[in-house]
Amino acid sequence: MTKKDKIVYQIYPKSYLDTNHDGWGDMQGVIRRLDYLQELGINYIWFNPMVVSPQRDNGYDVADYRSFDPRYGTMEDFEELAREAKKRGIDIMFDMVFNHTSTEHEWFKRALNGEEKYKNYYIWKKGKGPGVPPNNWQSKFAGSAWEYVEKFDEWYLHLFDVTQADLNWENPEVRKECADIVNFWRSKGVHGFRFDVINLISKRGYDDDPNNFDGRQFYTDGPREHEFLKELNRSSFGQDEEHLTVGEMSSTTIENCVQYAGADSDELDMVFSFHHLKVDYKNQKKWELQDVDFMALKKLLNTWQVKMQEADAWNALFWNCHDQPRSVSRFGNDKEYRRESAKMIAAALHMMRGTPYVYQGEEIGMPNAYFTSIDEYVDVESTNIYKVLLAEGKSEEEVLHILQERSRDNARTPMPWDDSENGGFSDVKPWLKSADSYKEINVKNELADPDSIFAFYQKLIRMRKEMPLVQEGLFVPMLEDHEKVFAYQRVLGNETLICLNNFFNEETEAELDPEGYEIVLANYKDAALDKVTKLRPYETIIAIRK
C-alpha cells in the first residue's frame, strides 16, 4: 500500500459545528473548521453517515444512500466541502452501511408491499411456531434479532435495531446496488470508504446458537465474505487508484483480517478490529466493568502488529471512535494526569505500524461526558441497556456509573470550540448535551498553549508524514513482560526508533540499552534515557538511533 503516510480524522458531523441554529452539526460547520484540520495535519476526513435516516441509530439506519439529510446540508454544500478540503490537501472518506438498511428505505417499503424483487433484498424466515422466531439469536442492541411481519407470516433478520433490516448479500442484485452506491459517491469526488460491520454480510446458516449466546458464530466472517469484498472492489472503488478503504470488522480474527487487508488481497486497504477495546470488559461483556487488563492489552497490540506485519497486511490504528468511550478516561487518567496520559496514549498508537485515526476531540484530550441522569442520554443502545440492567436488579446509581464508563454518548458530545455556551458548538440547545468539561477543555485553550495535547498530535502526525521509519519500519515488541510499560521498536535499515509508554499513574523503571539514542518527542520536558530509565506517571518517550 502506497498510502502509509496518511492520517485519517473522524468527524461525527452531528456534533462538530452547528451553523444553521438547529442544534445539529452540519457541512457548513465542517467547512468553517477546515483550516483547523489543515493545521493539525490530517489527510482524510472520515464522516459518519450524513444521508437521509430516521436516526434510530444516528444515521447507521440508512433510508436513502444518495441524498443528504437536509439537517446536514445539500449536495451543493457537500460539493463545496469537497472542493475546499481538496484545496487544503484533504480527501473525503464516507461511511457505507451495507449490512442493513432502515425499514424506512424504499427497498424495505416495497418488500412490505409484497414486491418479490425487493423482498429478496432482505433475509426472511419462517418461525419455529406461532410467535416463536426462527432461532435464538440476539440483536446487538438487546432482544431478539428477528421481527415478525404478520402479512407474510415470516420474520426478518435485524442484527441491530428492529428498524435496521439485514440485507441479503446472497442476492447478486443487492451486491450490484451496493457497488452502484459506491460509484455514485466516487462520481462526487469521494476517494475514501469505510465499510460498516462489513464482515457480517455473509451468513453461514440460521441454526440456533447452541451456547445460547447471540448467534455471532453464524454471521461473522462468513463463507462468502472474501468473495463478496473482492467483487465489490472490482466493481467500484478498485477502479480508483487514489482509493483508501477500511473495513469495520466485528469480533473478527487475524486470519481473516490478513485476507481482508493483505497487500495483494484485492479486498480492502486496512481493517478496524476491536479486541484491544474489550480489555476492560469483565467476562467479555460490555456492560460489566473491570479495570483495564494491561497485560492483555499489550499482548493484543503486539500480536496484531506482528501477525499483520508477517502477512504484509495493514491495520487501522485507533483508540477512539463514535462507538467507544473516550480513551483518556479509559486508558489514562482524565483528572490528575489528563494532559500527560492523553499524550502518552497518542504516542503509543501513532508510532505503531498502520494508519492512525484521530477521532474529533481526541486531539484536545476530551474526556467522557459523565452524565448524571438517564434523561441526558440519547443513544438507543444506552437507553435500552438502562432498562435491561435495572430489570436485572442493579441500582440506578450502579447503572448510571456503567453508562458513564461505557455509553457511546461519551464520544458524541458536541465538539468544544471555546468556553462560550455549549462550547461554541451551537447557539441553541444541542441535540446532545455538551460535556461539562468544555469550559476548560476546548480548542481555543489548546491552540493558545504551545505545550498542548493538540501540539503533541501535530508532532506525531508530522513524524509519520516525514519519516519512512514510521511509515515502513518493522515493528518489534520490547519489554513484553513489563507489567506497567508498553514498548516497541520500529526498525528500517540502520535506523531504530523506540517508543516507551508508562500506562500507569505511578513511577516505574524500564531496563534498556540507551546507547546512541536521541529523544525526539516526550511528554515531560526533562525526559531522559538510561540503562534503567525511570518513567513518571503516564510518561512517553520516543527516541531514534541512526
Catalytic residue positions, numbered = 196, 248
> All 3 cell numbers of residue 88?
487544503
Amino acid type, 8 = V
Cα three-residue angle 298-300-303, rounded to 5 degrees? 105
Cα 67 vs. chain centroid, distance in angstroms? Answer: 23
Q: Which three cell numbers stand for residue 46?
A: 472520515
Chain-centre distance of CA 24, in angstroms? 21
In terms of Cβ atoms closer than 10 Å to its own Cβ (0-12, 13-18, 19+), residue 528 is exposed
d(CA 160, CA 487): 38
C-alpha cell at 290: 473491570
Q: What is the DSSP string of 85-111?
A: HHHTT-EEEEEE--SEEETTSHHHHHH
Collapse the DSSP code of 328 into the 3-class scheme (helix H, G, I; strand E, B; otherwise coil) and give the result: helix
Close Cβ partners of 259 (under 8 Å, ≥ 6 residues apart)? 226, 265, 267, 313
CA angle 229, 305, 358 (to 5 degrees): 75
* Exposure of 317 in the CB half-sphere (CA atoms within 13 A): 23
Beta carbons of 226 and 260 less than 8 angstroms apart: yes
**DSSP 3-state of 39:** helix
Find how far residue 265's CA is from the centre of its chain.
23
Indicate the length of the chain as a whole number: 546
d(CA 424, CA 19): 10
DSSP-based three-state secondary structure for 290: coil
CB-neighbour burial class of residue 212 (10 A; exposed 0-12, middle 13-18, buried 19+): exposed
Run of H or E residues at 532: strand 532-535
11 sits in which H/E element = strand 8-11
- The two beta strands, 532-535 and 508-511, are antiparallel
Closest-CA residue to 277 (of 303, 251, 305): 251
Nearest to 192 by CA among 50, 79, 43: 43
